[in-house]
Structure 1
Amino acid sequence: MKISLSPQRRDDALKVVKAGDTLTINGAPFDFSALPDGATISAREIPCEWLVGAVERIAGELHLTLILPHGANPSQSVAYPAPIIDPPDGVIALPADPAPVEQAVEEEPAHVDG
């Protein structure tokens, strides 16, 4: 399996789980096991907003492109992600930047006159 990634500024999240030729994308399973070698499925035929372009089986291997959501000012690895080649079954590790940490504003201690 070769998963290409198309970065897009979005506030939502993507979770992909692989089990053989089935990808579960944000909880919705998409089984591509019946796709024969040399065949293509148009993205319009797949009810998934995360798939971009066609899903193809080339030389026995699935090829597809997923949107990779990211926040403002993504790192190089998120803005220009490498394809994911032959990921193992389980949750697919997608490139991501750490969540921004909000700095707590410290209040000055109350001054007590005594």
Structure 2
Amino acid sequence: MNQLPLNQRVCTPCQIGTPPLPPAEVEAQLLQLEDWQHQEWLLLRKDYEFKDFAAVMTFASEVARLAEAENHHPNIFIHDYRKLQLTLQTHKIKGLSDNDFILAAKIDQLPKP
């Protein structure tokens, strides 16, 4: 297991056939994140609320920039004009990998507009 903090690690391509993280590892890594939750051990989710639509879009753009840099992409849902939900999952393995937690930790460091 890598000992660097999640936000200092880099996402690496995941291979088909790699097993998803087991529940105990998911729980351990969740302790390093701010307000993220797992859904049935298959994905991570975090909900945000902003002051207005422009702030939502600013934050979503920063998440997109970060996701491109890491080559690991969340689902971004904008609803009720000032709410945003992020979900992360490693689609190749149909579950959670270290990459999901690495990106979540880096998203947690983004400034909130």
Judge same fold: TM > 0.5, yes or no.
Answer: no
* Higher RCO (Cα < 8 Å, 6 or more apart): 2
TM-score w.r.t. structure 2 length?
A: 0.27
Larger Rg: 1
Structure whose residues are more often helix by fraction: 2
TM-score w.r.t. structure 1 length?
A: 0.27
